[in-house]
Amino acid sequence: MIVSSFAILSFCLGWIVGSWPLFWALFISFVLGTAYSINLPLLRWKRFALVAAMCILAVRAVIVQIAFFLHIQTHVYRRHAVFSRPVIFATAFMSFFSVVIALFKDIPDIDGDKLFGIRSFTVRLGQERVFWICIWLLELAYCVAVLVGAVSSCLWSKYITVLGHAILASILWNRAKSLDLKSKAAVTSFYMFIWKLFYAEYLLIPLVMKSQIDLGPTAICNSAELRCLERNAEISEIIGCLCVIAEEEWVRAIGLMTGSDNGSRSRNDNIEATALLNGKHGRECADAKYGDAVEEGSG
């Protein structure tokens, strides 16, 4: 009853907010979570080690990171979604964590899995081997995080990212060496400790180098910036046209007073000046305008 109530509330919230990335994240997570847990024919995917790991990886590493990022970019900020280094790093890093969680969750339950015939990786490979696979995967993830932080151009971000991940890696290693795998309570406590490391990472992810990947000039401009650029272009065009009109009237007056030759020389000089103001397009426009003006002046 509680699970059903919260599922309905989450869908209602996603619908009220009106964000499609958020709604689809809730929907896909609900479908995979139901298939993972519910005891129905062809479901309860947690019984199958590989399928269970894929469910956890899909929700924790991919859907949560990317869908929520798209929700903030497109629905909250109303701008084009450009995948930045933090979101790419978060997806890759949480993929390691998701695999570790999928593997480690069966270590405390090895006796029950054997009793009910569930062929988990722990049952197949043994507690100790799976445990150290998990530890080395996390240590590898922390090493990559340290390297990513080390290449950051922001000094304070570099220090916090490198030191933060190094400290978490050291704490993990020290606890792993002192763990008694024969104690179910100790293994369960260590499993909860991994979840704490998982959520602690969300404090460090925003500090990863924040520069965006260069996907072209339009990719880094939001809609407000594009509108501003368009307005500036329109203003520049209007100013150029006004300059051409003013020069046209001036040349017409000169042509009437001095004749076509002087007017032609003035025409060339002033086309160059107008072109400097308006660029190539301005020169073509000025050339046409001055031609008409000189012809009228000569007549």
Share of the chain above pLDDT 90, in %: 17
The residue that leads in pLDDT, 212 or 15, is: 15
- For residue 286, what are its two tokens? 């000025």
Q: What average pLDDT is seen over the chain?
A: 75
Q: How many CB atoms lie within 10 A of CB 174?
A: 9
Region 148-176: mean pLDDT is 90
At 11-58, the pLDDT tens digits run: 888 888 888 888 888 888 888 888 888 888 888 887 777 888 888 888
| pLDDT band of 141, cuts 50, 70, 90 | very high
Q: How confident is the model at residue 290 (pLDDT cuts 50, 70, 90)?
A: very low
Question: Residue 1 carries which DSSP code?
Answer: -
The position carrying tokens 């619908």 is 15
Range ranked top by mean pLDDT from 33-47, 143-157, 186-200, 280-294: 186-200
d(CA 105, CA 52): 11
pLDDT category of residue 190 using cuts at 50, 70 and 90: very high
Q: How high is the pLDDT of residue 203? A: 87
